[in-house]
Structure 1
Amino acid sequence: MAKPAILRAAKLSDQTNAELEAAFEVHDLPSDATRASAMLDEVGPQLRGIALRKTVVDAALLDRLPGLEIISSYSAGLENVDIDTARSRGIEIANTSHILAEEVANLALGQILGVTRDIHNADRYVRDGKWPDAPYPLQVSLQGMEVGIVGFGQIGQAVARRLEAVGASVSYSGPRRKPVDLPYHATPLELAQACRIVVLTCPLTPETRGIADARFFEAIGPGGWVVNISRGAILDEAALIDVLSRDAIAGAALDVFAEEPEVPEALKRDPRVLLTPHIGSGTTQTRQRMGDAMVDALVARLGTDTPPDR
């Protein structure tokens, strides 16, 4: 029996690539547009699945893949996929948000503690030899602090569990209420007005692009922080730089950026901003589990005589 044919449009680990090649007839999408078009002319109608990461899957590409049954993404975000067109054609869409949620939430808690306890600057205080001169200034406790979460999917709920464990008071906003016993705010702005820290965990959509704007930061106020572990374009970096310059917000922790890996110099220079290079899911174990889940979704939909040997 012939193996199902799939399109590999992602850079993946050696183990995940080996699993794909054992189970499927794999065709790699060339980076060169002319070569990619020629390849799709030749094999596009045979392709039944896509192993995806960041490649844009728009209506034009879907038109070249009339037999496509599933798009399986290695990542949680699906902003690079024309979801409406895919679903209208009966194409299944799978991602790995259920796999990476706990790891991303771990980083979020670390970032929240980092800015409220000023850990990165306290580290520098010791290294610069300032401790013998004076004790470090007192910081702020998470116990009893009002913390808001924008977006309350699997990642947002995992963040909430960790915050509750350390004694924070958690509320959330999103397009609809969830069956949880936590305060709900209809808009991110209302959430920001009620909280001292706001954590962005929502997906990037036309509705969420730029929602963390000047009014949002002003609502948090000079004693509060914003944490972004979602997508860079959800936060208006120019507006954040402006409120920081006016001391209208206490600081920020950012794992994602609008033009990453480029980061605005003003953010890099500001000691009130904790910066990490998009490492939310960045552990060996979680990244492999993400690859496994991507393969498993393809196998479940397309079938194969060679299931992954793990």
Structure 2
Amino acid sequence: MTQAKQVALLGRIPPDVKAALDGDVTLLGAEVLAKMGPQARAAISHGLTSAIGGAGAEVLALLPGLRTIASVGAGTDVFDLADLEARGITLHPTPDVMTEDTAECAVGLVFAVLRNVAANDRFVRRGDWAKGRAPLGRRVSGRRVGVVGLGRIGSRVAEKLSALGCAVSYTGRAPKDVPWTFAADIGALAGSVDVLVLTCAGGEATRGLVNADVLERLGPEGFLVNVSRGSVVDEPALIAALEQGRIAGAALDVFENEPTPDARFLDLPTCVFSPHAAVFTRENRHDLIAEIRRLLGLGH
């Protein structure tokens, strides 16, 4: 019988990923690692965490032989990349297996908030259909959509929405060789579109990127869709804009505080919410687990 590979558990990971590794991997948390002898710790070459869990300096200091970290998720903003490089550790997030599902979710949220999908569901359940017609939604085809961050996910969002007949523009660090219109900054982009879709990276560089000014430029007929990170949006400014009707609505898969978003969001009828579930598909979990196994040096 093959002995299970010892892997340092550096941060929390999804239960299904943990279960899929059971039998092939022995996950060693910080408390267990601290009790191990120096030679045993030095023999551990692989670590596992997530884009939310990260990897703290204290636990890394226990692992001089660590060379590879597999991270569930695309984000790297919670990691000290300079510290990892100094320690000779390579971080391997899993952006490729997240792209299609996240982009698909973004498009779904565009439909949900413009076509009143969730609101119409509540309308029927309350029995309001018998009292009159549901409020009018907005056609998605022909809508002007701005994508913030044209990386893997943003590019797929742009491709999908273009195929649906939307006029797509984008902003990012620099123009790219793509068929969509480049805007110099997010303010200019917001002022030229009906829907602003956030697919950029999180972290300090983008914290509060969507502020009161950007929302003002988006305007009372504009919608915000966020599948990036909650930190990208100034949430008090967004809540105020929604309460006062200064934008038409928002569809949010991510929040500053998860899993308990600002309670004021729940009183806003023009919002559609998702519990950071953009990649929650059966296909994604299959692909993700296969990728994590590969990064940890395991067979399929």
What TM-score do you get using the length of structure 1 for normalisation? 0.87
AA partner of residue 174 (structure 2)? R
How many angstroms apart in 2 are the aligned matches of 1:308 and 1:203?
31
Matched with 2:155 is 157
1:151-203 CA distance string (max 9 Å, x none): 11111112112111211111111123333121112322221112111111111
* Structure 2 Cα separation of the partners of residues 55 and 125 of structure 1: 39
Q: Indicate which of 228, 231, 234 corresponds to 2:229.
A: 231
Q: For residue 13 of structure 2, what is the aligned residue in structure 1?
A: 11
Shift of 1:55: 2.7
The amino acid of 1:28's aligned partner reads L
Q: Deviations over 1:240-261 (max 9, x none)?
A: 1111122101010011111111
The 1:2–1:214 alpha-carbon spacing in structure 2 relative to 1, beyond 3 Å, is: same
Write the distance in 1 (CA, Å) between the matches of 2:113 and 2:250. Answer: 7
3-state SS of the aligned residue for 1:175? coil
8 A contact 1:13–1:288 mirrored in 2: no
- Structure 1 residues 43, 208: CA separation in 2 closer, same or farther (over 3 Å shift)? farther
2:143 paired residue number: 145
Q: What is the one-letter code of the residue matched to 2:9? A: R
Once the two structures are TM-superposed, the CA of residue 283 in structure 1 deviates from its matched residue by: 1.7
Q: Aligned partner of 1:7: which letter?
A: A
Output the TM-score relative to the length of structure 2. 0.89
Is structure 2 residue 12 aligned with structure 1 residue 29? Answer: no
Q: Does 1:296 align with 2:298?
A: no
**Matched AA of 1:206:** E
Match of 2:48 in 1: 51
Which shifted more, 130-139 or 223-232? 130-139
When residues 65 and 239 of structure 1 are mapped into structure 2, their CA distance, relative to the original with a 3 A threshold, is: same
Query: Is the deviation greater in 185-194 or in 128-137?
Result: 128-137
Which residue does 1:212 correspond to in 2? 210
| Residue 272 of structure 1, CA deviation | 0.2
Q: What per-residue deviation string (whole Å, max 9, x for no partner) do you get for residues 195-250 of structure 1?
A: 11111111112111111111111110010011111111111111111111221010
CA distance in 2, matches of 1:12, 1:130: 39
SS in 2 for 1:7: strand
Aligned-residue CA RMSD (Å): 2.4
Q: Is the 8 A contact 2:243 2:268 kept in 1?
A: no
- Which structure has the higher relative contact order (CA within 8 Å, separation 6+)? 1
Comparing 141-150 with 170-179, greater Cα deviation is found at 170-179
Q: 1:112 offset after TM fit, Å?
A: 0.5
Q: How many residues align?
A: 297
In 2, distance between residues paired with 1:138 and 1:125? 12
C-alpha separation in 1, matches of 2:133 and 2:16: 49
1:1-310 counterparts in 2 under 5 A?
A: 5-9=6-10, 10-13=12-15, 17=19, 19=21, 21-22=23-24, 26-30=26-30, 37-39=34-36, 43-53=40-50, 54-299=52-297, 307-309=298-300
What letter matches 1:308 in structure 2?
G
Q: What is the rounded CA distance, in whole Å, between the counterparts of 2:37 and 2:235 in structure 1?
A: 39
How has the CA–CA distance of structure 1 residues 14 and 173 changed in structure 2, closer, same or farther, with 3 Å as cutoff? Answer: closer
Which whole-Å deviations, capped at 9, do the CAs of 1:132-163 have from their partners, x for residues lacking one? 44333332112221101111111111211211
The answer to whether the 8 A contact 1:173-1:191 is kept is: yes
- Structure 2 gaps of 5+ residues are none
Shift of 1:291: 2.0
Residue 140 of structure 2 aligns to a residue whose secondary structure is coil
> 5+ unaligned residues in a row in structure 1: which ranges?
300-306
Q: CA deviation at 1:27?
A: 4.0
Structure 1 letter corresponding to 2:47: I
Query: What CA distance in whole angstroms lies between the structure 2 residues aligned with 1:247 and 1:178?
Result: 34
Query: Using a 3 Å threshold, how does the CA distance of structure 1 residues 59 and 178 change in structure 2: closer, same or farther?
Result: farther
3-state SS, counterpart of residue 170 of structure 2: strand
Q: Distance in 2 between matches of 1:40 and 1:233?
A: 40
Q: 1:37 to 1:111 in 2, by over 3 A?
A: same
Change (3 A) 1:39 1:204: farther
Amino acid at match of 1:52: T
Identity among equivalent pairs (%): 32
